[in-house]
Structure 1
């Protein structure tokens, strides 16, 4: 019987050369994007991932992770505040779609409260700063090819606002076919499925490649505040900006105390004399439980980042930002593909005089699912000048834990199942499953579980108050 011929194994150099030839023929992306992509894949193939030596990890001191309470108050004089704010630009990461919440288009246009979207609130906040202090803080939106067109149309409605809005696109990279490491678009997948945005670590090269970085520097801007567009707590903070300017910190990551809900979030460590982000993916298996413990690793990354613009320019031009690569396997039409991504927080170790600031939990209010939407639409918060302010009547520093079943996953379904959002000031936890509908003016306190039996509709009537109760049928109310 004839021997079966073995498939040839390509060397790393041959794989890269083959990929370069294929990528060269992709007319949809720029030369900068092509070289950025090849560089990322080459690094991935070389297996250069830095192994963390667990014994070398040290807890950062208060000089490295500065307590927010210890920050000096910002200047009170209007002219000094204006000078400080004129050094700042705000950038919101706007590449995500609202698909997990059943919406089409950019996630930032989901209505959050009082008919206002994430983007409306961001614009109102910055506009009120510009008006109050007579400054010019511009807003930049980093879109992906998924959100670019819709965002361009949406920002037109702010054309008469007291705010400069700039949009630019992050890189567009081809997905890699796992089987033979060729780009999916060169195999005929020319639609959007052939491409991906390579994570928010791409913010730094994209700022430079778009020309936005040089434009900001030429306007005298020194710092950029980068945050996720769905984090309602990520507002401009004068105390933080003042601290960074005075201490000439090139990079600052806002961290906040970890709760049991955040055990997978990245944390800051001191490692070989530098501050560094440690993500769960980098943790050896035998130390994962230790990483998740809130005794040893007490803080996590909010992804609110303050970065010096000239430092970004220096490091990107020197090709020095070699952030850890996050491989993200996907499947497109039955074909196994790989997308390689990086995270902006991982860049902290390349900047000089980088710090963390341990901020109050109020600066971390992301809306990732409809259960988060319930919190921000409830009486736990009020809206003042575009700022979502926590109700002082809530005595517990933590928010209630809310777990809504799949019937509530899409925003449209969520809104239709509540006549009005219940009062949850005194709620500890809420778990809802099955075909449940809520009337108006309901009050929930303590620990509440509402479960509709399979095939049955359960309506909670108007005006009901439920405290430490489990409801499985109408008779339990």
Structure 2
């Protein structure tokens, strides 16, 4: 480390020692992270050393053995498991206050409700005791403590613990923002989910779980509705003594920036786009060469976590995250849990079905999971078999739909999208009840004008623009069904007095229907 950087670190260490809001463990963890950052640990990889993992390293899900249909054996498996959900995120990007996990997803149930119902049903069915751990951040801790009280009567143990709280760094001075007068929450940040391993240890939860005979923890984002307990995966890991498993799934064009698993220097490793040399970024984004990406569903051996945390061996790649807080440029240093894979013995990936990756990051995702594309049973959100296309429709909603409250107001009921390929909505658009969308649909309102899709409308393979509807007055569902089922509305409609005529083909002179 250069002399100037050593001085920076010493000044920072002195300033951090005076911060009373955090523990000694948090102070030392933060200083270690900054020290590694200043030492310039290599983030890039040598491209020529990258190899595609074999099926022994990234195991196809179909190759996993079936779990014996014996209730006692299944109970024995599940009694070794802990479910841990990452619960540090807020719902602010979707216009909600408090933890994101309390956003209502389906039938009035929140992410957290669904998670609890799933584990309740497992415990009841097999007579096992799978506990639920929630890793909160300082942003979500107080709210979560109140929320979990409503599950007091459930048959599962629910434990919460906080991940680390680190001070944001003032970029130009390299000093903690709280020591510069920022006394509120804005002075702090949670350092990414890579912090789950030391935080689990420092909280005392890890030791308690080991004393109960627990062996594996299933870690997943609380907003991934596909991240449910899988007996085949758990059985495989126990039988093969794998210390770490990352679930990966085939990339689509929407996932080209997602991290992927590679073989590198004889070990399995997560490769993130930030590590890729500029000249190879397009190659990294290719779904032909790098066909899988990280779902952040992770299965990890608890004894291995203890060993590696005690040895201070989990030195994951550092993710610098520059931000601006009240006009001050700050730096956050973060790590990701997936990057820890290379430090564990006998680590593998499992190439799982896409159904195990169903994140809700925006209102467009909420539309998918609230629609008839999915059903819900025992807390599990299950894809409707009536949908023959294995891919979900692509959905783009304008900023008017960004906040959950606005999104819900704009739909009298969620449209049927079983046969939808894509939907793009822009402007002040409102949907009636029992609307059916099929094929490729575009709906756009003019700036400053409101476009209402009536109850019962069926729209298939059509763009609908406000301009097209000028002069048609009140539009009935029958109008929409006929006018948008085939052909262009501009070519196929004429207004005559207060009537709308729909023609099969205006040039042929054949009138299909007249709507008053």
Matching residue of 2:347: 354
Q: Contact 2:77–2:235 (CA<8 Å) still a contact in 1?
A: yes
Matching residue of 1:31: 24
Per-residue deviation, residues 272-295 of structure 1 (Å, max 9, x unmatched): 100000000101111111000100
Alignment equivalent of 1:302, drawn from 295, 299, 302:
295
- Write the mapping of 1:335-414 to structure 2, written as runs, cut at 5 A: 335-414=328-407
Is 1:266–2:259 an aligned residue pair? yes
Per-residue deviation, residues 145-188 of structure 1 (Å, max 9, x unmatched): 00000000000000010000000000000000011100000111
Matching residue of 2:162: 169
Once residues 462 and 325 of structure 2 are traced to their aligned partners in structure 1, the CA distance between those partners, rounded to angstroms, is 45
Q: Contact 1:49–1:325 (CA<8 Å) still a contact in 2?
A: no
Instruction: Return the offset for 1:15.
Output: 1.0
Unaligned runs of 5+ in 1: 1-8
Matching residue of 1:118: 111
Alignment equivalent of 1:179, drawn from 157, 172, 194:
172
Matching residue of 1:332: 325
Alignment equivalent of 2:313, drawn from 316, 320, 325:
320
Matching residue of 1:256: 249
Alignment equivalent of 1:44, drawn from 32, 37, 49:
37
Alignment equivalent of 2:234, drawn from 238, 241, 266:
241
Instruction: Return the offset for 1:75.
Output: 2.1
Once residues 272 and 229 of structure 1 are traced to their aligned partners in structure 2, the CA distance between those partners, rounded to angstroms, is 33
Matching residue of 1:97: 90
Is 1:201–2:200 an aligned residue pair? no
Is 1:57–2:57 an aligned residue pair? no
Once residues 115 and 326 of structure 1 are traced to their aligned partners in structure 2, the CA distance between those partners, rounded to angstroms, is 36
Instruction: Return the offset for 1:14.
Output: 1.1
- TM-score by structure 1 length? 0.98
Per-residue deviation, residues 221-247 of structure 1 (Å, max 9, x unmatched): 000000000000000000000000000
Is 1:131–2:131 an aligned residue pair? no
Alignment equivalent of 2:134, drawn from 132, 141, 155:
141
- Count of residue pairs brought into register by the alignment: 469
Q: Contact 1:171–1:206 (CA<8 Å) still a contact in 2?
A: yes
- TM-score by structure 2 length? 0.90
Per-residue deviation, residues 6-63 of structure 1 (Å, max 9, x unmatched): xxx9612111111110000000000000000000000000001243000110000000
Q: Which has the higher contact order (CA 8 A, sep 6+)?
A: 1
Once residues 19 and 107 of structure 2 are traced to their aligned partners in structure 1, the CA distance between those partners, rounded to angstroms, is 45
Once residues 51 and 279 of structure 1 are traced to their aligned partners in structure 2, the CA distance between those partners, rounded to angstroms, is 10
Unaligned runs of 5+ in 2: 473-482, 485-516
Once residues 287 and 126 of structure 1 are traced to their aligned partners in structure 2, the CA distance between those partners, rounded to angstroms, is 43
Q: Contact 1:275–1:349 (CA<8 Å) still a contact in 2?
A: yes
3-state SS in 2 of match to 1:462: coil
Q: Contact 2:319–2:333 (CA<8 Å) still a contact in 1?
A: yes
Is 1:84–2:77 an aligned residue pair? yes
Q: Contact 2:167–2:189 (CA<8 Å) still a contact in 1?
A: yes
Once residues 19 and 43 of structure 2 are traced to their aligned partners in structure 1, the CA distance between those partners, rounded to angstroms, is 31
Once residues 448 and 426 of structure 2 are traced to their aligned partners in structure 1, the CA distance between those partners, rounded to angstroms, is 12
Q: Contact 2:396–2:424 (CA<8 Å) still a contact in 1?
A: yes
Instruction: Return the offset for 1:69.
Output: 0.3
3-state SS in 1 of match to 2:56: coil
Per-residue deviation, residues 301-325 of structure 1 (Å, max 9, x unmatched): 0000000000000000000000000
Is 1:449–2:442 an aligned residue pair? yes
3-state SS in 2 of match to 1:63: coil
Per-residue deviation, residues 125-152 of structure 1 (Å, max 9, x unmatched): 0000000000000000000000000000
Q: Contact 2:192–2:335 (CA<8 Å) still a contact in 1?
A: yes
Matching residue of 1:292: 285
Once residues 403 and 444 of structure 2 are traced to their aligned partners in structure 1, the CA distance between those partners, rounded to angstroms, is 19
Matching residue of 1:153: 146
Alignment equivalent of 1:230, drawn from 211, 223, 227:
223
